[in-house]
Every structure is written in structure tokens, then in C-alpha cells.
Structure 1
Amino acid sequence: MSQEYRTGREGDEFTYRGHTLEELQEMDVEEVVELLPARKRRSIERGLTVEQQKLLEKARTKDAEETANSPIRTHLRDMPILPEFVGLTFAVYNGQSFERVRVEPEMIGHYLGEFQLTRSSVEHGQAGIGATRSSKFVPLK
């Protein structure tokens, strides 16, 4: 694990690459982009799409208490999480439904979609009607 941020210890406050959350939130987007990993930095430097710009504006106008009741709904799983998103709640689409994702400081530098899985685990039951003879066998023990 890289030394990007440290948190969890008593007395330590969150830092991302040597900057506190307050410092990150005061920075311009261009200054924050320089701190992000290469893939996220490149996607922002190439320019945000129109949809991503709308989401960024919507996030700037809403506050944390407002989004707790009605989260910001989005299909944009490829939106990089910026420091100004911390404390907001997003409803991210996973292919079937919108699931809530509350942005924490440790999520900075990741994509929104990383925190909402698109695939669920499969739990198989016993073989049913129409199964082959060999698959109907269920051990007693």
C-alpha cells in the first residue's frame, strides 16, 4: 500500500500526498489534478465531458446535509472523486438500480464506480426440476 494517505490513528488527521483535506478543498481543480494518479490526472486534463461538468456544478451547489436526504443521482461511474465531493452522497447507477455512495476523504483519487459494484455474487441452491440425473444427487451429510 502506498503512502498516499494516513488515517485511523488517534490524533492523526487525514492527509492526501502531504496535504490536509482543508488544503485540498481550498485548491483549484488544476492544483488538485497534479496530485492525482496518472489515469485520473489524464482523464481530467483531456477535459471533462459535458455530463461530468454538469455533475461537478451540481455537487458545488449542493451541501452535505441536502444530499443526505436526496442524493445526487448519476450514471457517471467514470467521474474522478475530487476533494469538493467529500461529505456528499451520490446515487450511482450499477446497471439495475441507483445505490447510495457517501464520499469519504479516503476516496479522493478514485472513480465513483469503484464503490458501487455492478455484479452480485451468485449463491446456487439445490438442483431443481429438469436437472440431469447426476446433478440431482444431494449428499445426506
Structure 2
Amino acid sequence: MSSEYRTGREGEFTYRGYTLDELQDMERDEVVELLPARQRRTIERGLTVEHEKLLEKIADATAEETANDPIRTHLRDTPILPEFVGLTFSVYQGQEFQRVEIQPEMIGHYLGEFQLTRTSVEHGQAGIGATRSSKFVPLK
């Protein structure tokens, strides 16, 4: 007996038992039922006017097949749906827009999860006004 647990065909993406093609053929209401609770509630409670405009831009981009032009947005709280796969977004991360290429594995997450807003802090030497004990830098 194999110790690995496999669903679907080898090497094919599935989300909750459905392939990407099946997900893209579904109505939005059917896809929403498959999403995690937080994303599902976000859509069920009603999207804002800005979110609706973004969905219209996405529908236009998929109809025109202009995947080269990124869709610029500040809406980091937009749940990623199967119709987003293959598109490129420019997501605002606080200072600038960063490109995010939507992959099938991103379905069910938010756009902002893939564009970090915080950077790690690397402390240097003690600055002006530091105490004598905090200025000590070990030699090794």
C-alpha cells in the first residue's frame, strides 16, 4: 500500500476535488461555496463598488486576452477566484505597485497575501544619543 495520499490525476491541479477547467466553467455562486469561510463570507455579504469595478476589469481582460497588461489595484482584500488565473495584477503594497502573476494554487487566498507590506528590520550600529552600554559591539 502506498504511503502517499493522491487526489486527481498525477501532476494535475485540483481545488477541493475540481480541476481548473471545471472551476472556470462553474458559476460564481458555485465557486463561492468551495472557498474557505472568510473569503466566502466576504463575497456573500456583498462586494463593494470598487470590487465590482475590479471584477469588470477582469472580465474585460479575459475577454480580450490581454494578459500582458497588468491590472492595477489597491484592493488587497479581494479573494482570488478561478477566473483570475493567468492574469497579472499590480498590487499596491504601500509605496509602489508590485506585479503578481496569479497561479492556480492561489485560489481561495487574498491578493494582498502575495505582496508583503512589511520588510524585515536589519539593525546596524547604535545611533546618536545611544547609551554607553548599547554602543558596545562585540569583536566576534
* TM-score normalised according to structure 2 size: 0.87
Deviations 1:93-127 (A, max 9, x none): 11111111111101101111111111110001112
The reply on whether 1:80 has 2:79 as its aligned counterpart is: yes
**1:11: Cα distance to partner?**
3.1
2:136 paired with 1:112: no
Which whole-Å deviations, capped at 9, do the CAs of 1:30-83 have from their partners, x for residues lacking one? 110111111111111111111101111101111496343x31110101101000
Instruction: Tell me the SS of whatever aligns to 1:66.
Output: coil
Return the offset for 1:22: 0.3
Report the Cα distance in structure 1 between the residues aligned to 2:29 and 2:42, rounded to whole angstroms. Answer: 12
Q: Please give the alpha-carbon distance, in whole angstroms, between the structure 2 residues aligned to 1:72 and 1:103.
A: 11
Q: Structure 2: which 5+ residue stretches go unaligned?
A: 1-5
Give 2:97's aligned residue: 98
Can you give the 5+ residue segments of structure 1 that lack an aligned partner in the other structure?
none
Q: Is the 8 A contact 2:16 2:34 kept in 1?
A: yes
Query: In structure 1, the residue corresponding to 2:66 is in which secondary structure?
Result: helix
Question: Identity rate of aligned residues, in percent?
Answer: 74
Q: Deviations over 1:7-32 (max 9, x none)?
A: 9xx93200001100000001110110
Q: Which residue of 2 aligns with 1:16?
A: 15
Partners of 2:7 and 2:84 in 1: how far apart? 19
C-alpha distance in structure 1 between counterparts of 2:66 and 2:137, whole Å: 53
SS of aligned partner of 1:91: strand
What TM-score does the superposition give when structure 1 sets the normalisation length?
A: 0.86
Cα separation, 2, equivalents of 1:30 and 1:57: 17
Whole-angstrom CA distance in 2 between matches of 1:65 and 1:57:
14
**What is the rounded CA distance, in whole Å, between the counterparts of 2:67 and 2:116 in structure 1?**
21
Distance in structure 2 (CA, Å) of the matches to 1:55 and 1:6: 33
Contact kept, 8 Å, 2:7 with 2:17, in 1: the verdict is no
